[in-house]
Amino acid sequence: MSVVTPEELERPVFRYRLLPLFRDLIRCGCVNTGEPDSGQEDRAVAVLREFFASYGLETRILHGRPGRGNLLVKVPGSDATAPSLTYMNHVDVVPANAADWSCDPFAADLKDGQVWGRGAVDMLCWTACQAVGLAEALKARPQRNFPGNLSFLALADEEAAGRWGARFLVEQFWEDVKCDAMVTELGGFFADTDRGPAAFINRGEKGVAWVKLTARGRAGHGSMPYGADNALLKAAEAALRLGTYRAPLLRHPSWRSMAKTAARGFGERVALLSGWGEGWVMKRIFRRDPGMAKFLDTAGHTTFSPNVVAGGDKINVICDRSELLVDVRFLPGQDGNIPDEAGVEALVRQALGPQLSSQFHFELLDFHQPTLSSLEGPLDEAIRGVFSESHPDASLVDLMIGGVTDGRYWRDRGTTVYGFTLFDREMTMGEFTSRMHGVDERISLNSLALGLRFFTQLPGKFWKV
Ligand SMILES: [Zn+2]
């Protein structure tokens, strides 16, 4: 059964379980501004708790901060040696400016076969499909369990790096939330290739280093800049140098998988995969599909994006101190070694060059190493199984992203984490990325039905029962 039938959208579990839960979650509007008391995810947690109670499933609420609950459902397996599987999602969303939307971003309107609202793709569609899928999968089992532990985790605070959510749970409740395999967000969207449709499965995330570079100068009169030591010029030069620097291409397996998908025809494929014609092919890909070009470029290169500059305090005084904030997303080195904090400093200094580099003090504001899950194992097999039944003519493509999800906290500790769900074909990479954190975020009923199908069937495929 490859397409969603009208009957599938009429099934009681879809109409009376999934849709109301999904729309209630959007209406909670757990907006995370980054302020410690924003989000207030307890509202979404209460909705989920009531939903699971209706299936007779017990929930645990874990608070890192008042009002900001995380919800855990854990159903013990029958075989202590079987691997465990967790569905993980977050219930906070980013703000939405209602004036720019064509509907109320928190009303969860249903029109044109789509549900509209903030969080529709990032990531309340996962939350709802995972919750109903897990409950239905368990209900269909005679003993109401699977061989291994099956868990559901709805987290707070993902949109502000997980301080009260993922990071808190992994640090304080590891024994409760640890698992062998995990499915979370960011994947499942499609691209057209010259070999047919392909969907992306997210296996890893680049490292993140937020860097502050500080330069000193010497104050003087702005009317006589001749021979002055101006700190702002140093920051400007560093911004230009880092912003235009190209780190060497790293042709790791995920990049190769993405490159094969993005290239068209033999010539482009050879030029890109060998690396020698990368610049030429990337320009052509960018013209066809800018989103794809951005994903591919960041997957293959360590990048330096200078995004904040500050310095000086008076227009007629030579600037004597400047700061440049640089968002660095790094890959393992050519030798496969993952740079540590000193290694990232060396990368930045190398990009600046010795003379300019000597002018700057280096400080790390945030640091997280790259995480990558292996390409094999029961979860990979299970996902491929469900995927090929619903989209038999499509292939799966590895994705390594420059952004971060809560999945990194589990990958750090050895869990296999993939970002995936089943979407309808209309959810292309371009559509997904423009809706995520964007205006008029929405998802089709067909995609929701496929997501429900995915999370209902996955446990059976994972444990082969
Ligand atoms: Zn998200």
Span 390-412, mean pLDDT?
94
Q: How many Å apart are CA 76 and CA 59, to the nearest integer?
A: 13
CA of 164 to the centre of ligand 1 (A): 15
Residue of 347, 305, 358, 312 lying closest to 327 (CA atoms): 305
Structure tokens at 397: 């493509």
CA of 136 to the centre of ligand 1 (A): 24
What integer pLDDT is reported at residue 161 of this predicted model? 84
**Whole-structure pTM over 0.75, yes or no?**
yes
Cis, peptide link before residue 429, omega less than 30° from 0: no
What integer pLDDT is reported at residue 359 of this predicted model? 97
Would you say residue 128 has pLDDT above 90? yes
Would you say residue 69 has pLDDT above 90? yes
Q: How many Å apart are CA 245 and CA 320, to the nearest integer?
A: 26
CA of 156 to the centre of ligand 1 (A): 11
**Strand runs labelled E in 149-265:** 150-155, 181-184, 190-193, 196-205, 207-216
CA of 22 to the centre of ligand 1 (A): 15
89 contact partners, CB below 8 Å, separation of at least 6: 123, 124, 126, 127, 130, 153, 154, 155, 184, 185
CA of 71 to the centre of ligand 1 (A): 16
Would you say residue 459 has pLDDT above 90? yes
What integer pLDDT is reported at residue 204 of this predicted model? 94
Parallel, antiparallel, or unpaired for β 114-116 and 110-111?
Answer: antiparallel
What integer pLDDT is reported at residue 375 of this predicted model? 81
CA of 460 to the centre of ligand 1 (A): 26
- pLDDT tens-place string over residues 183-238: 999 999 999 898 899 999 999 999 999 999 999 999 999 999 999 999 999 999 99
Span 343-365, mean pLDDT?
97
Band of pLDDT at residue 133, cut at 50, 70 and 90: very high
Q: How many Å apart are CA 107 and CA 23, to the nearest integer?
A: 8
Q: How many Å apart are CA 332 and CA 286, to the nearest integer?
A: 25
What integer pLDDT is reported at residue 164 of this predicted model? 96
What domains does the chain contain, in order, with CATH numbers? 6-193+371-463 (3.40.630.10), 204-368 (3.30.70.360)
Task: Work out the burial of residue 48: count CB atoms within 10 Å of its CB; fewer than 13 is exposed, 13-18 middle, 19 or more buried.
Answer: buried
Q: How many Å apart are CA 399 and CA 405, to the nearest integer?
A: 13
CA of 62 to the centre of ligand 1 (A): 20
CA of 158 to the centre of ligand 1 (A): 7
- pLDDT tens-place string over residues 9-45: 999 999 999 999 999 999 999 999 999 999 999 999 9
CA of 161 to the centre of ligand 1 (A): 10
Q: How many Å apart are CA 438 and CA 293, to the nearest integer?
A: 19
* Residue 251: HSE in the Cβ half-sphere, 13 Å Cα cutoff: 10
CA of 159 to the centre of ligand 1 (A): 7
Cis, peptide link before residue 123, omega less than 30° from 0: yes
CA of 126 to the centre of ligand 1 (A): 10
CA of 115 to the centre of ligand 1 (A): 17
171 contact partners, CB below 8 Å, separation of at least 6: none
Residue 93 · residue 106 · CB < 8 Å = no
- pLDDT tens-place string over residues 85-120: 999 999 999 999 999 999 999 999 999 999 999 999
**First-to-final CA distance of the chain:** 20
What integer pLDDT is reported at residue 2 of this predicted model? 52
Q: How many Å apart are CA 111 and CA 392, to the nearest integer?
A: 29
CA of 397 to the centre of ligand 1 (A): 20
CA of 185 to the centre of ligand 1 (A): 6
CA of 168 to the centre of ligand 1 (A): 17
Mean pLDDT of the chain: 95
CA of 149 to the centre of ligand 1 (A): 25
Would you say residue 278 has pLDDT above 90? yes
Band of pLDDT at residue 1, cut at 50, 70 and 90: very low
